[in-house]
Structure 1
Amino acid sequence: MKNSKKMFIMAEALLTVMVIAVAFIMVREKNGKELDRISVIIQDSEDNQWAAFQYGLKMAEQDLEVRMSVVSTGGALTVEEEKSLIEREIDNGAAAVIVQPVPGAEEMLRKMANRIPVLLTEQTAAESGGDSRLPVVEPNQYAMGAALAEELLKDYSGSLDGKVLGIFSKTGDSQAALERKRGFLEALKNTEASISWSVAAPFSEEGEALLEDQPAVDFVIALDDNSFTMAGEYAAANDLHGALVYGIGNSTEAVYYLDTGIAGCLVVPDEFNVGYQSLTEAAEILTHYFHKMHDRTVSYTVLRRDTLFSKENQEIIFTMSQ
């Protein structure tokens, strides 16, 4: 008799918990129609380098049936401007944000993550691990830099004796640029390559003057898309003194300079999947209450002029043109 009564009480308790859980889910779904919007904040959102990234976002939005909006930004952002944009999106009903972090924004973003789920499109300088580290979706930045150096070595039978290089980045104060440079230099540390100069423009500054005033080199190593396309433009106008461009980029303009022979090699991060997987990860936390967002690492591809029109490479180029 006692066991029967005990089982009855346990069943009632379980039923009560289930009713509460169902009610919670129903309320969440009802309210979620207006709240489950994910905002995306990136530097200079209209720049062509974001075409594949935004295409990935749009495809994920369709597949996942979530709402997504890319905040319009006209150029580089300061920490305060990025903070203001996030706060505005929260006030307008955003349930999560995907952010390209501004250098120096680590502490601000961690504080924002106490109010709303925050997912990064690239790592920040202070993100060294631990529970406070914000989740990120990005390619292996160090590996891309190393791959670029390896491709350069392949073209010269493993020897760069007598070759002079210049390294250029228009996002030189970002952690991504620093990791790419580190990977490139460490892959060349046992070679005879000579680094004549290494210049970098912070997010908030232009890079034209930095590039045009440098001594002549054999190769200009461009560490980001804007650097690559600028170096390509200079080389096309014979303003790089015959230097060949090798670099990392993800726009149709970058592909153009490879196709015309101005660039020797282009390493392309899979920005389509950065967008797709970022939205997937952010959406997961909105549909599963106890989900914890995780890091995701996407791939990269080495493009060469002679294989540019392979089926696989054409699919990559297609995402850049959307």
Structure 2
Amino acid sequence: MSRKQWELLLAGMALLFIMGISIYRYTSRIPEEESYRLSVFSDSNDHNTKSVLRQGMERASRDFHTDLNFIMFTEEQTQEEKEEIIFREIQRGSQGFLLHLDNPDAWIEKYSHMLEGRVVLALEVAFYDQPDNPSIWINNEKMGYELAMELVKGRDENQNVVLFKTKEHNKKDYLRSMGGKKALEENGIVWEEREVTDNEKENALYLCFNQSATEQTVEMLKDKINRECIFGVGNSEKNVYYLDKGVIHTLAVPDEYMIGYMGVKNICDRLSFRESSQGMEIDYILVSKEELYLPEVQKRMFPIVQ
């Protein structure tokens, strides 16, 4: 074989080798995750809840390659103004909507004509039977029941029980209140339902069904009653401080971080046609002073720090 033929043969073999490497790299490469744009609508005024929930969503947005845009609705906005905001988000390419609203089912029904082709998920839904739409939810009635049972277990026979009066238009609080009253009724305990005042009796126990009510009750009682007399909700800085100080007996803490995280994951799974349920129930924990510094409790109460 001549020198020229050898050179052509070697060049051909080199070309085949390069082509083989290129084909291998192309066929074996891991496909990039598709990126999604999601809009988050909220009407919650609870800063702590919004903050923790948002942290969970932002963590998931990094894990699942999404672009989140947060929009706050107010009572002053008209339906036309809200429709304009929704239309703007659609025009910007939003493929999914996460709803942290007091009544997401009514919202979905009202704006259904604008949501065609978009994936919608409601966060932290309160419901009486089963959610009507894909949702991430907490069993609020069960949480209220179990919180009240902690009061029942810690109550002396002569202690009065005060339920912080709940606004019935807030479905979450109302369901927690229903559960709490059921527990008290089952145990033959009579209660007063009212707001806490400056003239509280030393022998009373207080049952609160949201973070704001718990903080208000703490504020009224912290300098008057130095014992574990409050059974409340939420892991705000104030609530945790007075749990540690022994003013609060038990806190029910919804896992807001996981609600936000799993909400984004769920909607991304549905957008990418991966198998995903239409929703899921997220747990909560009941925390006493003695349990506050347990590692597993710290991880659930302060997921951002952990």
TM-score range, shorter chain: 0.7 to 0.9
Matched with 2:159 is 163
The Cα shift of 1:312 comes to 0.8
Query: How far, CA to CA, are the matches of 1:77 and 1:258 in structure 2?
Result: 37
The CA deviation string for residues 279-315 of structure 1, in whole angstroms up to 9 with x for no partner, is 11111222128x6751210111111111211101111
SS in 1 for 2:191: strand
Matched with 2:235 is 250
Change (3 A) 1:139 1:44: closer
Choose from 187, 193, 198 the match for 1:191: 187
Change (3 A) 1:45 1:61: farther
Query: How far, CA to CA, are the matches of 1:87 and 1:162 in structure 2?
Result: 59
Map 1:48-197; keep pairs closer than 5 Å.
Answer: 48-72=48-72, 80=79, 85-103=85-103, 106-113=105-112, 114-115=115-116, 116-123=118-125, 133-156=132-155, 161-168=157-164, 172-197=168-193
Q: Identity rate of aligned residues, in percent? A: 21
Contact 1:98 1:119 in 2 (8 A): yes
Change (3 A) 1:65 1:224: same
What is the count of residue pairs matched by the alignment? 270
Which amino acid counterpart does residue 206 of structure 2 have in structure 1? V
Change (3 A) 1:47 1:220: same
Which amino acid counterpart does residue 42 of structure 1 have in structure 2? S
Query: How far, CA to CA, are the matches of 2:197 and 2:288 in structure 1?
Result: 26
| Long gaps (5+) in structure 2 | 1-31
Which amino acid counterpart does residue 47 of structure 1 have in structure 2? H
Contact 1:137 1:295 in 2 (8 A): yes
TM-score (normalizing by structure 1): 0.71
SS in 1 for 2:95: strand
1:319 aligns with 2:303: yes
Contact 1:51 1:320 in 2 (8 A): no
Matched with 1:47 is 47
The Cα shift of 1:45 comes to 6.2
The CA deviation string for residues 100-159 of structure 1, in whole angstroms up to 9 with x for no partner, is 2234x633322434433221113356x7559xx211112211111111011112223xxx
Query: How far, CA to CA, are the matches of 1:304 and 1:59 in structure 2?
Result: 28
Contact 1:140 1:297 in 2 (8 A): yes
1:287 aligns with 2:272: yes
Larger radius of gyration: 2
Change (3 A) 1:109 1:215: farther
The Cα shift of 1:237 comes to 4.4
Which amino acid counterpart does residue 235 of structure 1 have in structure 2? L
Change (3 A) 1:283 1:179: same
Map 1:262-277; keep pairs closer than 5 Å.
Answer: 262-277=247-262
| Long gaps (5+) in structure 1 | 1-28, 199-209
Contact 2:152 2:187 in 1 (8 A): no
Matched with 2:17 is none
The Cα shift of 1:247 comes to 1.2
TM-score (normalizing by structure 2): 0.75
The CA deviation string for residues 77-107 of structure 1, in whole angstroms up to 9 with x for no partner, is 778476664444334332111112234x633
Contact 2:222 2:247 in 1 (8 A): yes
Which amino acid counterpart does residue 266 of structure 2 have in structure 1? E
The Cα shift of 1:274 comes to 0.5
The Cα shift of 1:226 comes to 1.5
Matched with 1:220 is 206
Change (3 A) 1:134 1:258: same
